Structure 1
Amino acid sequence: MSLALPSPDVLRHIVDVHCHPTDAPTIIPEAMENLALGTIVSMSSCSRDQVLVRNLAMSYPDKVIPCFGYHPWFTHLISLRGDISKEDHYRQLFGLGNDLEDLALLLPSLPDPIPLGNIIAELRQHLEEFPQAMLGEVGLDRSFRIPYDFSASPRRLSPFTVPIQHQISILQAQVDLAVELGRNVSLHSVKANQATTEFLAQTKVKHGNNWNKISLDLHSCGMSADSVKYIQSRYANIFVSLSTAINVRSSNYVAVIKACDPERLLVESDYNDVNMCAPQTWDMVCRVADVKEWSTETEWKDEISLEEWGAVRRLEANWMRFKAGNHSNIAHRRNMSMLK
C-alpha cells in the first residue's frame, strides 16, 4: 500500500511507538530535522546501541523518546553470574545436547559475557538520566538462531538458540527495574505465546498494584486474535502496536486489529531508516482506520466533538493513555464501559 502523506498538521499528531534509527549505518541530521512525525520512540537492543540511542535523544529531545534494554537476540551475551569464564558460560548455555563441533566454531566469534548485574546498573543509569525513557526492546523469542557472525551478509546461522529460561531470567530483571522506576515497556514476543502469557501472569503477581502503574506494548504483535483478546481481558495495562514491515506479511493482522481494545491500539514503523518512519507509520494508521471503520483526518481541527474523532486523534489519545500509565484494574474498566 503506497499512500500520500497527510498534511504536516496531521502528521505531527502521530507517534511511531517503535523504531530502530540507530541500527542504520548513519543517521543523516537532515532526516531527523525534517522528521514529519510528532515523536519517534527509539529502541536499543544490545551493548553497542545503548549509547547511540542516548546520544540521539540528547540531540533531538523534542522528537525522540529513548528506550534502553536488551533484545532477546542478544541475551546469550549476558551471564547470570559474575564469576564465570567465557567458555564455561557458553558451554553451559549451549553445550548440553548439542554438537560440540558447532559450538567450537561459534565460540571464537563470541565476546566475553557481561554479568546481568552490570547490565541492570547500566539500564538504571540511562533510565534515570531520561525521565521519559522506556524499557525496550526486550522480550522473548523461540525462533531466533544465533549467527556465526552478526556482521556478515548474508548471515550463516548456527544451530543454537538461547534457552527460554535464560531469556526469561534476563527479561524479568529488566522488567523488575521498569516497574521499580515506573517506566513503560516495549515487548518483543515471537513464537513464545505461552512463555509470554506465563511471564505476564507471574510478573503481575510479583509486583501487585505497582504492575498497573506502567504500560506494556506488545510491539509488531504476531499473536493470534484470541491471544490478544485473552491477554487484554486480564491486564488493563497491555497495549498492542502493529507495523506494516512485520505484520502485513500475514493476513492475521486484520483479525488482531478487530480483536484489540480500540483504546489500547498503537501504530509503529519498526524501521531503521528515519526517512521511512512517517510513510510506514501512516500506512498502518490507514490500515487500522480501514479495519476499525474509523475516518482518517485530512486536516487538523483543534475543536471537534468526540463523535468526529478520526484514527489519528484516537491513536494519539491511546498513546497519551499508554504514556501516562496508572491503569485501573480490568473489573473497573468493564464497569466504566457499561456506563458509556
Structure 2
Amino acid sequence: MTPLPSGVLEHIVDSHCHPTDAPSISAASMQQLQITVCAMSTHSKDQSLVRELAQTYPSKIIPCFGHHPWFSHFITTNAGVAKHEHYHRLFQPTEELYPAFEDLLPHLPEPVLLDDILVDLRSNFASCSSPPMLGEVGIDAIFKVPYDYHATPRRISPFMIPLEHQLTVLEAQIDIAVEFGASVSFHSVKCPQATLELFDRLKRKHEENWNNIRFDIHSCSMSPETLVQLQRKHANVWMSVSTTINGRSRNLRPLIAACAVDKLLIESDYDAIEQSTPKCLEILDIVAEVKGWHIETDWDDGDENGAVHRLEANWKVFSATQTRTTE
C-alpha cells in the first residue's frame, strides 16, 4: 500500500462508507481523518446520525441520505396497515414457512409509511448547506431477511424482499434526487437486467432531468460487459470499487479496465472510520496498476495525469449539483 503525504491525501474521496455504523467513531478518530468521506445512511434510525456527523465535520463528511434495499421491507405504501398484515402481504409465507414467519415477526419493527420517509428525506436534503447525496439505495436480488440484523452470528430467515417492493421504495427516493439534482450511491447485487431496465425507465420518465443526476454503482459486482453496456447507454453512470467487497472477485481488474476512465471512483465500503483511508489506498494501488497511472507523492508537482488527480476530477464531475429543468 502506497504511503501518501497529507497534501495528497486531502484530495482523496471515499465515495462510499458507513461510519455511523461503527461504535469506534469519535472526535479523536475524526480528527485523524485526512480524506473526505461519503457517509451513507441505510434506514430510519441512522438518517439523523449522518446529518449530525456532517454538521459537526462539514469539511470531512458528505452526508448521504436514503433507505437501503435490505431495510426496504420496513416501509409500507399503505397508510394504517397493521404490522402483521404488512409483512404477511410482503413475504406471502406458505403453510410450510408460516412458523418461520411467526418467528421472524417479533424481530421486525412497525412499518413506516413511504410518504413519511420521503418527507424526512426531502427535509434532510433541504437542510444541508453543501450538496448531499442519495444513498445508500438500490436493489438486491439475493438478500434474505435476518431475524436480527445486528446479532453475531446472524440467523437468516427464508424470506426475501420482493424486487417490485424494492423498486417502489427506490424510485420514490430517486424522484427526490432528481428534484434536488443530487448524485446517487447505488447498490445493485445480482440484478443487472433489472438495473438496466430501471435506468431505461427512469430516463423516459425524467427526460431532460435524467442527466441532472449521476449514479455511482458502488462496489460494483456487474460483469465488465454489463458495465460497458450501461455506461454506453447512460452517460450519467459512474462506478466505484473497494477491496472490502470487490477484493474477493476475479472480475475486479477486468471491471476496472472496462470502466470509462472519467467515470471511475474509489471507496472503502467500510464502517470503522479508522479504516477508511487505508482501504481507499489499497484500492487506489490496484486502480493505478490496472489503468497504468502513477500515484502522486507531491500534489504541487502539477501532474494532472496522476491517479489521485484523475479520481478527484472524476469526483468533481460526479458530485456537481445540477439544475432541474422545469416546464
Same fold (TM > 0.5): yes
User: Partner of 1:318 in structure 2?
Assistant: 314
Question: In structure 2, what is the Cα distance between the partners aligned to 1:221 and 1:298?
Answer: 28
Question: In structure 2, what is the Cα distance between the partners aligned to 1:291 and 1:234?
Answer: 24
User: Partner of 1:28 in structure 2?
Assistant: 26
Question: In structure 2, what is the Cα distance between the partners aligned to 1:189 and 1:277?
Answer: 22
Conserved? CA contact 2:181–2:322, under 8 Å: no
User: Aligned residues: percent identity?
Assistant: 47
Runs of 4+ in 1 over 3 A off after TM superposition: none
User: Partner of 2:134 in structure 1?
Assistant: 135
User: Partner of 1:62 in structure 2?
Assistant: 59
Q: Does 1:12 align with 2:23?
A: no
Could you report, residue by residue, the CA deviation over 1:142-170 in whole angstroms, capped at 9, with x for unpaired residues? Answer: 11111112232101100001000000000
Q: Does 1:260 align with 2:259?
A: yes
How far off is 1:97 after superposition? 3.9
CA 1:325 to 1:302, structure 2 compared with 1: closer, same or farther past 3 Å? farther
Question: In structure 1, what is the Cα distance between the partners aligned to 2:110 and 2:22?
Answer: 25
Question: In structure 2, what is the Cα distance between the partners aligned to 1:33 and 1:82?
Answer: 44
Q: Give the superposed CA RMSD.
A: 1.3
User: Partner of 1:222 in structure 2?
Assistant: 221
Superposed, which structure 2 residues align to 1:106-145 within 5 Å? Answer: 106-130=104-128, 131-145=130-144
How far off is 1:249 after superposition? 0.3
Conserved? CA contact 2:19–2:39, under 8 Å: yes
How far off is 1:303 after superposition? 3.3
User: Partner of 2:78 in structure 1?
Assistant: 81
User: Partner of 2:176 in structure 1?
Assistant: 177
User: Partner of 2:287 in structure 1?
Assistant: 288
- SS of equivalent to 1:301: helix
Conserved? CA contact 2:93–2:101, under 8 Å: no
Conserved? CA contact 2:131–2:321, under 8 Å: no
Could you report, residue by residue, the CA deviation over 1:174-215 in whole angstroms, capped at 9, with x for unpaired residues? Answer: 001110111110000111111111111101110001010111
User: Partner of 1:40 in structure 2?
Assistant: 37
- SS of equivalent to 1:244: coil
User: Partner of 2:50 in structure 1?
Assistant: 53
- SS of equivalent to 1:16: strand
How far off is 1:96 after superposition? 4.6
Question: In structure 2, what is the Cα distance between the partners aligned to 1:97 and 1:192?
Answer: 25
- SS of equivalent to 2:266: strand
Question: In structure 2, what is the Cα distance between the partners aligned to 1:97 and 1:80?
Answer: 23
Q: Which amino acid aligns with 1:294?
A: W
Question: In structure 1, what is the Cα distance between the partners aligned to 2:107 and 2:274?
Answer: 33
Conserved? CA contact 1:86–1:113, under 8 Å: yes
User: Partner of 1:197 in structure 2?
Assistant: 196
Conserved? CA contact 1:95–1:103, under 8 Å: no
User: Partner of 1:152 in structure 2?
Assistant: 151
- SS of equivalent to 1:189: strand
Question: In structure 2, what is the Cα distance between the partners aligned to 1:226 and 1:262?
Answer: 15
Q: Does 1:72 align with 2:69?
A: yes
Q: Does 1:186 align with 2:185?
A: yes
Question: In structure 2, what is the Cα distance between the partners aligned to 1:325 and 1:20?
Answer: 22
Give the alignment's TM-score, normalised by structure 1. Answer: 0.92
Q: Which amino acid aligns with 1:81?
A: N
Q: Which amino acid aligns with 1:313?
A: H
Conserved? CA contact 1:257–1:291, under 8 Å: yes
Question: In structure 2, what is the Cα distance between the partners aligned to 1:251 and 1:30?
Answer: 37
Conserved? CA contact 1:212–1:325, under 8 Å: no
CA 1:302 to 1:213, structure 2 compared with 1: closer, same or farther past 3 Å? farther
- SS of equivalent to 2:300: coil
How far off is 1:325 after superposition? 5.4
Question: In structure 2, what is the Cα distance between the partners aligned to 1:13 and 1:302?
Answer: 14
Question: In structure 2, what is the Cα distance between the partners aligned to 1:303 and 1:294?
Answer: 15
How far off is 1:326 after superposition? 5.0
CA 1:200 to 1:97, structure 2 compared with 1: closer, same or farther past 3 Å? farther
User: Partner of 2:99 in structure 1?
Assistant: 101
Unaligned 5+ segments in structure 1 are 328-340
Question: In structure 2, what is the Cα distance between the partners aligned to 1:288 and 1:188?
Answer: 20
Question: In structure 1, what is the Cα distance between the partners aligned to 2:4 and 2:104?
Answer: 49
Question: In structure 2, what is the Cα distance between the partners aligned to 1:175 and 1:64?
Answer: 22
Could you report, residue by residue, the CA deviation over 1:64-98 in whole angstroms, capped at 9, with x for unpaired residues? Answer: 00000000000000001112111110010012546
Question: In structure 2, what is the Cα distance between the partners aligned to 1:108 and 1:295?
Answer: 54
Question: In structure 2, what is the Cα distance between the partners aligned to 1:43 and 1:302?
Answer: 33
Question: In structure 2, what is the Cα distance between the partners aligned to 1:325 and 1:229?
Answer: 25
User: Partner of 1:246 in structure 2?
Assistant: 245
How far off is 1:26 after superposition? 3.7
